[in-house]
């Protein structure tokens, strides 16, 4: 029964693992690597079914999980992370990179096999003592010594050759440093020269695994003596800018073949003979002039320094200093001159001398001490040299926060508040707060915070930041509350309050409403006048057709007879004539005169001027003024 259950359990386990997918595993692991100093090293690492954090370790020290490996300027990780490629690169390789490296999938608990990185240092060209031309005395045993510096890895092998043939009978000697690491390596060839050895060439070759072909240094043997040299300068004490002549004299056998001049160890270009003429400057005080004289078998060298008088020259500028409030601060600068210059310290923009000498000390500094300090040296006797150099003192203190002016905002419109922050060290955070909340960065409801560097800093107070609080859709409460802008660093906190000014829309609305009302009124007047003129022109056209039906009071026509109906209505004559007309826009006065409307709409009446009498003018009223005027049936 048990035997039947075991395969079933194995099948279930296989199905479960298959449904869960493959587990993380290494597709490629780093291997031991040998690389030359200064070249690039690449340690491969590839993972399958893993997308978590991958990091490299160096002798157990984690290098970090980021691809660019901050803090390790020569290290980086390459490859497609999505495909599981995480190769470690080192360029250029240095001796300190020689260590054991591991690729680790942290979240899966996977570690690659350790890979040892070996750094090889090729040997430099060896040095043959007395070369390149070695003078020997014929018949006298002598030693030729070849030396290689001890920073090559592995230790190089030194071999002697003559005319391309390997020589035996050499003695190998190696010195060790205290820690047991290789020091210099020497190989000595012992020989007794004869006349036929004059002019023979010997080669010392240094080779190792790092440079199998090796590097050669050749020498030439001569059975004569090298030059003997004396060197003089005239004048020996000289003012900066004056001319000096060096004279190099030598005796040699065979005769001298060449002169080589150097200043401070660097060759003087163009100098060939025994005489050298220069213009003295400050460098000749510390950089001696040397003359090397050579002949066929060797060379000799002599050197001398000048006593040059020169003005101050800056050797070391003062460095910026950053200290906390209450601590001491000090600056140092170095000037050289002959004679020694006088050095003073001032503050930029000030004339008060704060100290003298190479060092300025400021005890227990405060924020008011922040700024730029100037180290000054006066010109020398020649009037040349001198000058000033400055450095900044930064006093670390709690942030200084200032609320910037903000434009008033409309209700339900956008608004913006700003504050300026100066702090050293830089603030950990800049926070805006108000009644019901706070915000450091990003957005929250109607509020959005942005922080960016200020265009310029305030001397000694550290870099500046501008923080902006954006408000969308302002509310009544935004104009009555206070907004606090605060910043903090390790030394404390600073803050400032800002309020939002309101910009009222009411004056603008009133202006717009007034303009609209005036425009409407003007349109109504123009329309009325146009209608009046149109109706008057229509009335004038029909008035001539109906004027025979009008009775005007006071008429002299007495021959007309009236019927009974007319007698019956005679009592109404005092109310004016009877007019049968359809032109109701005409008005007759009780005296029987015809009144017309004013086409100027009262313009002349306002100014005390009667309108011109014109049969085509508009009437001034739309009402019937005489009750005696009526329309006939």
Residue 178 has pLDDT above 80, yes or no: no
pLDDT-derived band at 540 (thresholds 50, 70, 90) equals low
Q: What is the mean pLDDT of the segment spanning 536-543?
A: 58
Query: Is the model's pLDDT at 575 over the cut of 70?
Result: no
Q: Which of 366, 395, 424 is the last residue of a domain?
A: 395
Query: Can you tell me the mean pLDDT for 521-550?
Result: 67
pLDDT band at 608 (very low <50, low <70, confident <90, very high): very low
pLDDT at 552: 35
Q: Identify whether residues 295 and 162 lie together within a single domain.
A: yes
Split into its structural domains, the chain has a count of 4
Which candidate, 368, 371, 497, 503, places its Cα nearest to that of 433? 497
Number of neighbours of residue 69 by Cβ within 10 angstroms: 18
**DSSP tag of 106:** G
CA distance 456 to 452: 12
Reply yes or no on whether the pLDDT at 558 is more than 50: no
Segment (H or E) for 543 = helix 506-546
The region of weakest confidence among 226-235, 282-291, 505-514, 525-534 is: 505-514
Q: Which parts of 170-242 are beta strand (E)?
A: 170-176, 182-191, 201-208, 211-222, 225-234, 237-239
Domain-embedded: residue 338: yes
Q: Is the pTM of this model over 0.75?
A: no
* Long-range interactions of 75-80: CB distance < 8 A, separation 24+: 79/46
Q: Where are the alpha helices (DSSP H) in 253-391?
A: 283-286
- Please check whether residue 572 lies inside any domain of the structure: no
Residues 444 and 389 in one domain: no
Give CA–CA dist 34/210, Å, rounded.
9
d(CA 525, CA 445): 53
Stretch 410-423: mean pLDDT: 91
Query: Among the three residues 262, 284, 305, which one is the final residue of a domain in this structure?
Result: 305
Q: If pLDDT is split at 50, 70 and 90, which confidence band does 566 have? A: very low
Domain-located, residue 586: no
For the ranges 81-95, 135-149, 174-188, 342-356, the lowest mean pLDDT is seen at 174-188
| Domain co-membership, 215 together with 291 | yes
Residue burial 129-154, b: 16+ Cβ < 10 Å; e: rest: ebbebbbbeeeeeeebbbbbbbebbe
DSSP summary character for residue 84? T
The band of 184, judged by pLDDT with boundaries at 50, 70 and 90, is: confident
Where does a domain end: 99, 120, 141?
120
* Angstrom distance (rounded) from CA 404 to CA 418: 5
Buried b (16+ CB within 10 A) or exposed e, 80-98: eeeebbbbbebeebeeebb
Q: Which residue has the higher pLDDT, 463 or 60?
A: 60
Percentages (nearest 5) of helix, strand, coil residues in the chain: 15, 45, 40
10 within some domain: no
Position 564 scores a pLDDT of 37
- pLDDT of 56: 94
- Within-domain flag for 186: yes
> What is the average pLDDT across 191-214?
85
Task: Decide which of 133 and 540 is more confident.
Answer: 133
Kindly state the DSSP code that residue 195 receives in the 8-state scheme.
G
Q: Is the pLDDT of residue 342 over 80?
A: yes
Q: Is the per-residue pLDDT at 585 higher than 90?
A: no
Are residues 38 and 96 part of one domain? yes
Percent of the chain with pLDDT over 70: 75
Are 320 and 363 found together in one domain?
yes
Length of the chain: 633
CA-closest candidate to residue 614, choices 597, 601, 626? 597
Domain hosting 473: range is 397-499
- Work out the angle at residue 211's Cα, subtended by the Cα atoms of residues 208 and 216, and round it to the nearest 5 degrees: 90
- 315 and 301 fall within a common domain: no
Task: Tell me the range of 251-255, 349-353, 532-536 where mean pLDDT is highest.
Answer: 349-353
Between CA 213 and CA 223, with CA 218 as vertex, the angle to 5 degrees is: 155
Q: What is the pLDDT of residues 356-381, one digit of tens each?
A: 999 999 999 988 888 899 999 987 66
């Amino acid at each position: 029964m048990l035997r039947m259950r075991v395969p079933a359990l194995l099948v279930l386990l296989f199905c479960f693992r298959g449904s869960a997918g493959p587990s993380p595993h290494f597709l490629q692991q780093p291997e031991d690597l040998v690389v030359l100093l200064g070249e690039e090293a690449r340690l491969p690492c590839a993972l399958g079914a893993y997308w978590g954090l991958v990091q490299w370790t160096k002798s157990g020290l984690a290098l970090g999980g980021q691809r660019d490996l901050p803090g390790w300027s020569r290290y980086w990780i390459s490859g497609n992370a999505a495909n599981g490629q995480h190769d470690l690169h080192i360029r250029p390789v240095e001796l300190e990179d020689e260590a054991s490296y591991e690729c680790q999938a942290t979240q899966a608990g996977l570690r690659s096999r350790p890979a040892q990185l070996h750094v090889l240092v090729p040997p430099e060209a060896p040095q043959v003592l007395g070369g390149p031309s070695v003078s020997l005395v014929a018949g006298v045993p002598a030693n030729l010594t070849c030396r290689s510096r001890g920073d090559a890895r592995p230790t190089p092998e030194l071999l002697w050759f003559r005319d391309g043939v390997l020589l035996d009978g050499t003695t190998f000697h190696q010195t060790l440093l205290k820690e047991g690491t290789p020091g210099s390596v020497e190989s000595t060839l012992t020989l007794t020269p004869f006349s036929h050895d004059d002019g023979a060439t010997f080669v010392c070759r240094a080779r190792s695994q790092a440079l199998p072909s090796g590097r050669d240094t050749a020498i030439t043997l001569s059975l004569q003596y090298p030059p003997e040299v004396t060197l003089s300068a005239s004048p020996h004490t000289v003012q900066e800018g004056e001319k000096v002549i060096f004279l190099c004299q030598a005796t040699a056998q065979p005769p001298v073949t060449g002169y080589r001049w150097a200043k401070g160890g660097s060759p003087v270009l163009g100098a060939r003979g025994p005489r050298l003429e220069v213009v003295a400057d400050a460098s000749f005080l510390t950089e001696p002039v040397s003359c090397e004289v050579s002949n066929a078998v060797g060379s000799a060298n002599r050197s001398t320094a000048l006593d040059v008088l020169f003005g101050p020259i800056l050797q070391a500028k003062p460095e910026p200093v950053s200290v906390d409030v209450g601590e001491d601060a000090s600056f140092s600068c170095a000037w050289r001159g002959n004679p020694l210059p006088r050095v003073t310290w001032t503050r930029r923009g000030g004339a008060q001398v704060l100290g003298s000498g190479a060092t300025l000390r400021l005890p227990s500094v405060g924020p008011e001490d922040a700024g730029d300090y100037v180290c000054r040296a006066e010109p020398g006797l020649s009037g040349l040299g001198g000058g000033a150099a400055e450095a900044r003192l930064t006093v670390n203190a709690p942030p200084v926060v200032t609320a910037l002016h903000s434009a008033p905002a409309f209700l339900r419109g956008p608004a913006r508040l700003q504050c300026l922050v100066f702090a050293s060290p830089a603030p950990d955070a800049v926070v805006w707060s108000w009644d019901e909340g706070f915000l450091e960065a990003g957005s929250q409801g109607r509020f959005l915070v942005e922080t960016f560097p200020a265009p310029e800093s305030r001397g000694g107070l550290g870099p500046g930041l501008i923080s902006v609080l954006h408000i969308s859709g302002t509310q009544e409460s935004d104009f009555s509350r206070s907004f606090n802008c605060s910043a903090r660093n390790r030394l404390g906190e600073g803050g400032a309050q800002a309020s939002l000014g309101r910009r009222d829309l009411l004056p603008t609305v009133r202006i717009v409403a007034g303009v609209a009302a005036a425009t409407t009124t003007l349109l109504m007047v123009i329309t009325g006048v146009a209608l009046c003129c149109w109706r008057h022109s229509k009335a004038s056209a029909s008035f001539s057709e109906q004027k025979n039906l009008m009775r005007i009071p006071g008429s002299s026509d007495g021959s007309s007879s009236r019927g009974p109906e007319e007698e019956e209505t005679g009592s109404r004559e005092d109310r004016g004539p009877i007019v049968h007309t359809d032109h109701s826009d005409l008005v007759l006065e009780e005296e029987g005169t015809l009144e017309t409307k004013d086409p100027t709409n009262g313009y002349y009446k306002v100014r005390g001027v009667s309108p011109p009498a014109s049969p085509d003018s508009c009437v001034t009223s739309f009402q019937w003024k005489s009750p005696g005027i009526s329309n006939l049936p």
